[in-house]
Amino acid sequence: MKITQRVEDNVIVFMPEGRIDTQAASDMDQVLQTAISEGRHNVVVDMAAVDYISSAGLRSLASVLVKTKAEGGDMKIAGLNERVTRVFNIIGFDLLMSVHDTADAAIGDFSSSGA
């Protein structure tokens, strides 16, 4: 799995590609946790290029959400496809995390909330 990133305003945007299986989830967790430890507490994960997420990937996202909130920030999700949206809805992640159609919308949500 490939993960690219960019910074816009005070938000770091991660763009994983492909399947987030057990190994990819570990890699993604390491990248996101490193960014948080470096002081990046406003995070967007743009999942537009992700076609599958395992339970390990979901655990990683939950862990990152908890960590960002503990540091006074937040994590927002963007670009979920239909299959991944169903998974988020079934387990209730759509109630725990702010989910947006696009990364730009998620970034804008940080701006409008004053984060």
Tokens of 111: 């701006």
Which residue blocks in 38-102 are alpha helix, DSSP H? 55-70, 82-91, 93-96
Q: Which fold has domain 2-113?
A: Transcription Regulator spoIIAA (3.30.750)
Going by the DSSP 8-state scheme, the letter that residue 25 receives in this structure is: H
Mean pLDDT taken over the chain: 94
* Segment 5-42, tens digit of pLDDT: 999 989 999 999 999 999 999 999 999 999 999 999 99
The predicted structure's pLDDT at residue 16: 97
| Better-predicted residue by pLDDT, 43 or 10 | 43
On whether the CB atoms of residues 87 and 98 are closer than 8 A, the answer is no
Tokens of 88: 């988020």
| Euclidean distance between CA atoms 108 and 66, whole angstroms | 21
SS (H, E, C) the chain: CEEEEEEECCEEEEEEEEEECHHHHHHHHHHHHHHHHCCCCEEEEECCEEEEECHHHHHHHHHHHHHHHHCCCEEEEECCCHHHHHHHHHHCHHHHCEEECCHHHHHHHHHHHCC
Using pLDDT thresholds of 50, 70 and 90, give the confidence band for residue 113.
Answer: low
* Segment 61-110, tens digit of pLDDT: 999 999 999 999 999 999 999 999 999 999 999 899 999 999 999 999 99
The predicted structure's pLDDT at residue 18: 94
Q: Is the pLDDT of residue 114 over 60?
A: no
